[in-house]
A = this chain, B = another copy of it.
């Protein structure tokens, strides 16, 4: 079950970075939903690196194939298997690095946990490439959420300490696709691009923060005590490699706040109860309150860097400090935007089904 997520809308990820393929099974998707390979391809393409500067040099063709669960372009209620074949693989560098765990990477823990049997090539199951399977699932989830009006969008709010100015949802929606760092503040975006370029020249990498938003939220998603909306979102987001922190609404800034300033007053607007502010990030008591979900996700700098780093040869227990070659992003934050969106969509979809908002058959 460790490679499965969700109770009613369940995804099961498989495949390795340099194996034959990466894929996802979606179980519990309602019957009657029209889906084409193009629908999913579109989201896979959004995950692609936008410009050369921030990009991995690997040419990922990444053509989505539907293997099951969809008949005549419509979901059947059977498990949907979506798959991308791996191509353009050069594992030679990894053979050399097999016993030299990269600092900050899962090489060491994977080796120890799986007794050295793990497929180490390209990071195997611990490669960012696995996030392509999440994006495929997210594409289906977003189509379902669309039926009940929920919109999920994510954007970069910080790279290397350069913070984006807060923007309105419409501006975010419009600007995020217009620049390679997926930032709604176009001025900050330019500064972020420059930082990435500089860091690249140094042979280093850089972290950042992605903010995820869900709009038009119904009230009542989330199943406390343990299956809270925030808890399940956090679990789903921490599955994304490189995530080190998750916060909702005012997040860690609550430490310095008074209740009287952090509590969101209830008011009436257009005949509905809403909150005047959204410090709660749309969640009270683990349940959506109808306001936008706002979650921020801290993404560490890529662990694989060109600079030489200190490590230990697991086999002979000798110190070593090799330079990692391979092809790696200097900053994965822009690519993580599509992945954060996907994990939010998958989780919200599961909760919508648990709340009975999505039928088992779509008519």
Contact = CB atoms under 8 A, between A and B. Distances in A.
Interface of A: 1-5, 7-8, 10, 12-16, 19-21, 23, 25, 27-28, 31-32, 66-69, 71, 74-81, 83, 101-106, 108-110, 112-115, 117-119, 121, 124-126, 130, 158-161, 199, 202, 204-209, 219-220, 222-228, 230-232, 234-239, 241, 243-252, 254-260, 262-268, 271, 273, 275-276, 279-281, 284-289, 296, 298-305, 307, 309-312, 314, 317, 319, 354-356, 359-363
Contact of A256 (B207, B222, B280): B207
Given A159-B255, A204-B258, A205-B259, 12 more contacts: A2-B225, A3-B79, A15-B68, A19-B68, A106-B224, A112-B287, A115-B361, A254-B298, A254-B301, A257-B301, A267-B310, A356-B360
A208 B317 CA distance: 43
B251 A286 contact: no
Contacts of A299: 254-255
B355 A356 contact: no
A180 B7 CA distance: 41
A74 to B, nearest CB: 6
Contacts of A14: 25, 67-69, 78-81
Given A71-B117, A76-B117, A28 B1 contact: yes
Contacts of A296: 252
A226 B106 contact: no
A135 to B, nearest CB: 14
B101 A266 contact: yes
A77 B118 contact: yes
Contact of A234 (B5, B209, B246, B287): B246
Nearest to A289: B109
Contacts of A78: 3, 14, 16, 118-119, 124-125
Nearest to A299: B254
Contact of A298 (B68, B220, B252, B303): B252
Contacts of A289: 108-109
Contact of A31 (B66, B101, B117, B257): B117
B71 A19 contact: yes
Nearest to A22: B68
B114 A259 contact: no
B298 A244 contact: no
B226 A13 contact: yes
Given A109-B289, A117-B77, A119-B71, A260 B309 contact: yes
A133 B103 CA distance: 40
A3 B20 contact: no
A16 to B, nearest CB: 6
Nearest to A104: B263
A86 to B, nearest CB: 10
A75 to B, nearest CB: 7
B7 A305 contact: no
Nearest to A248: B244
A359 to B, nearest CB: 6
Contact of A1 (B10, B235, B238, B281): B10
Contacts of A305: 259-260, 263
B103 A266 contact: yes
A32 B125 CA distance: 16
